[in-house]
Structures are given as C-alpha cells and as structure tokens.
C-alpha cells in the first residue's frame, strides 16, 4: 500500500499500512410482536466503518510526528493508491498505541478509527 494520511495542518506518510481492519454495525431494530413468530423490523442504515489501522514507520521521528498529529482530535483523510477501497475520511476513536518493533529499529502506531463523512 502507498498511503497518505492528510489533515488540515499536516500530512503523514507511513512506510506501510500493516493492517487495516474495518467493520460496520447494523442499526436495524427488531420488534417482537405478541402472536407472531417472526419479528417486525425497522430497517436502518449501517454505521460508518470503524476498526483499526496499524501504521509502520521506518524512522522514529516520522512515527512520533504522526503520533502527535493524530492525537490532535481533528479529522483526517486516508488515501491509498494501491487499494482505493480503504480511502476514507476518519477520526480517531478509542486508543492509539505506539510500539517499537522487536528489532528495536522501527515503529508502529496502532489506532482505532471511525469513518466520518
């Protein structure tokens, strides 16, 4: 993946998007009706995508700059030239973890996100 994460004040260029996980949650409402074996259903649109991104950085300074930028509480846009299906506007939702790799030379940011429109 060749990915760029862009915000109003900064751009982030991870060396690699190591993991992209996404899910949507149904908001349908099921109503149990006395005397009916099947429920009535109020159909609703699913939630926007939510999941985790793992961003790999070759250089410490790039990783820490990204960690600081992503902690600002502003929305970002993910654009990937190789896998455009993952393109989205998003905001962080939940934890963000900075990890040093086992070889102690590279850095990974693992973060939870929620798609915004």
Cβ atoms 12, 78 nearer than 8 A: no
Tokens of 1: 């993946």
pLDDT given at position 1: 57
Domain boundaries, the chain: 3-116
Give the SS3 label for residue 33. coil
* CATH code for the part of the protein at 3-116: 2.40.30
Share of the chain above pLDDT 90, in %: 93
Mean pLDDT for 87-113 is 96
The pTM (predicted TM-score) of the whole model is 0.85
Mean pLDDT, residues 68-76 taken together? 94
At 95 the pLDDT is 96
Supply the pLDDT for residue 117: 85
Q: What is the mean pLDDT of the chain?
A: 95
Q: What is the DSSP letter of 106?
A: -
């Amino acid at each position: 993946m060749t990915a760029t994460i862009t915000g109003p004040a900064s751009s982030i260029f991870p060396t690699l998007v190591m993991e992209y996980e996404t899910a949507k949650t149904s908001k349908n409402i099921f109503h149990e009706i006395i005397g009916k074996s099947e429920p009535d259903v109020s159909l609703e649109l699913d939630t926007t995508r939510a999941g985790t991104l793992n961003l790999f950085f070759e250089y410490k300074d790039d990783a820490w700059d990204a960690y600081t930028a992503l902690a600002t509480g502003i929305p970002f846009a993910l654009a990937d030239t190789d896998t455009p299906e993952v393109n989205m506007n998003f905001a962080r939702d939940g934890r963000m973890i900075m990890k040093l790799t086992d070889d102690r030379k590279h850095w990974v940011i693992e973060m939870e996100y929620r798609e915004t429109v």
